[in-house]
Amino acid sequence: MPNLLRSQIYKLFHNTIFWAGAGLTICSVVFYAVFESMKAETVANGMPLFQYYSILFQNYSTGLPILIFCVVFASDDFMSGAVHYYISKGISRTQYYLSKTIACAFAATLYVVIAGISGTIISQILWHNLGGLLQINTLQLLFFFFSQIILHTSYACFLVFTCFLFRSSVTSSVVNMFLLIFGFFIVHRIEDVIWHSYVISMYWPVAMFQRVQVMTVAEWFPVVAAIFVIYGVLLTCIGIIIMKKRDIK
């Protein structure tokens, strides 16, 4: 398992799609920061750093790059037939599935870090608000980014699951792109009709990217933890079972 995981991490860092996703993350962060800077309210009052962090992960700035990378990275071995090679060399299906999941979760973590660093830099350039860090509780800020990492890695686990379920990068891309854009709205409409409240949609990781904010992270953390259990633990276990049962040829 350690050797397999090292090989997956090596492939990650030598994957063009990963670096393209990193570039897309930075471009998205810069674009939305510039867009925010042109709003009348922002022009007049600037933007406190804690407020900027709270909108940093909206608008798919990290969700879309994670989707693209995870779908390509997790589906590639099925498309090329390499998964059969790995299994024939004595690697268990559980180890193979976990190695892909951990590698994609690691990539999601890096995208969150990249977004945080690039966001801090562009925020300082536009609003000179780096001094705002002194006004934010350090533990609360770390807790915020930790929660975002949990949400993004949970989403990566979901993407890996769909890739192993469909075993096609095209099908996985279409399904996950649809869910990324429309999933929340569809579930929310169902909630409006049945429960008239947010009952299910708050357990969709992408929806929580924007709900979890610096000043409210503590009240949302039980939901964040539940999301990790659902996607990072339970869905991964289901994915392993499917991987064991299905023909990989």
What's 196's DSSP letter?
Answer: S
The pLDDT of residue 211 is 83
- Model-level pTM? 0.89
Domain count within the chain: 1
Tell me the three state secondary structure of residue 102: helix
Report pLDDT digits (tens) over 158-217. 999 998 888 777 888 898 888 888 877 777 777 677 665 656 778 889 888 888 888 888
3-state SS assignment for residue 57: coil
Burial 194-227 (b: 16+ CB within 10 A, else e): eeeebeebbbbbbbbbebbbbeebeebbebbeeb
Whether 78 contacts 225, CB under 8 Å: no
CB 223 within 8 A of CB 64: no
CA distance 74 to 76: 6
> Rounded CA gap, 200 and 204, in Å?
7
Nearest to 119 by CA among 55, 42, 199: 55
User: Domain span at residue 86?
Assistant: 2-245
Cβ partners under 8 Å of residue 82, min gap 6: 76
Per residue of the chain (249 residues), give pLDDT as tens: 788 888 889 989 999 999 999 999 999 988 888 877 776 565 555 666 767 777 788 778 899 999 999 999 988 877 777 777 778 778 888 889 999 999 999 999 999 999 999 988 887 887 776 665 656 677 888 899 999 999 999 999 999 999 888 877 788 889 888 888 887 777 777 767 766 565 677 888 988 888 888 888 888 899 999 999 999 999 999 999 988 877 665
The residue behind tokens 């951990």 is: 102
